Amino acid sequence: MLYIPVEVNGIAVKAFVDSGAQATIMSPDCAQRCGIMRLVDSRFAGIARGVGTARILGRVHSAQIKIGNLYLACSFTVMEGKQVELLLGLDMLKRHLATLDLRHNCLIIQDEKVAFLGESEIPKDSSDDDGEPTVEGPSGSKVGARSGAIVEPPAPVIRDNAPRGRYAEEVVNRLVDLGFTLQEAVSALDATNGDVDMAANLLLFN
């Protein structure tokens, strides 16, 4: 399991790097400790269901995170039921063009190299996956919120002939590629006035 030391709002946090998780997630305790609970948008509250269930308190749209010597903008979902304080998912890694360098045992982000924590520094309870809740992974797979392990294989992507309406094909396909039908993607876009990020969250966490 790959962890790096980061700072959120000046508070030291051990972040689990998980390129298999679609979304970046923070625990409520960590959000409280970092003093950013006031930034949580409760409109994105809901329930994550999988092997277990977990309550989603909402989403922080933008907070500053320090990785190495870099100060980066980060958005994440605040969710209960997980032992990992902060899980850096694929959305964050792709946004900042991060590289997992296993040869040199580090995360490279904007030419900044941050060494992964040693085994003795990894939180001891991070491997306990009894009743572990899941989050959405690539192509509709289910990923353990604590362990990052795939616990449910991707669902087949069903492409149908439902109308795309007024939305650009690439926008609709971003949602379809997450494992949803074309009709589900269009309906989510209709419900969020065409905001693809809000539509993705609506589909993933409801």
List % helix, strand, coil for the chain (3-state, nearest 5): 25, 35, 40
18 catalytic? Reply is yes
Residue spans of beta strands (DSSP E) within the chain:
3-8, 11-17, 25-26, 46-49, 53-67, 70-79, 86-88, 99-101, 106-109, 112-115, 134-136, 142-144, 150-152
**DSSP label at residue 140:** G
Per annotation, catalytic residue among 18, 91, 160, 197: 18
What are the residue numbers of the active site?
18
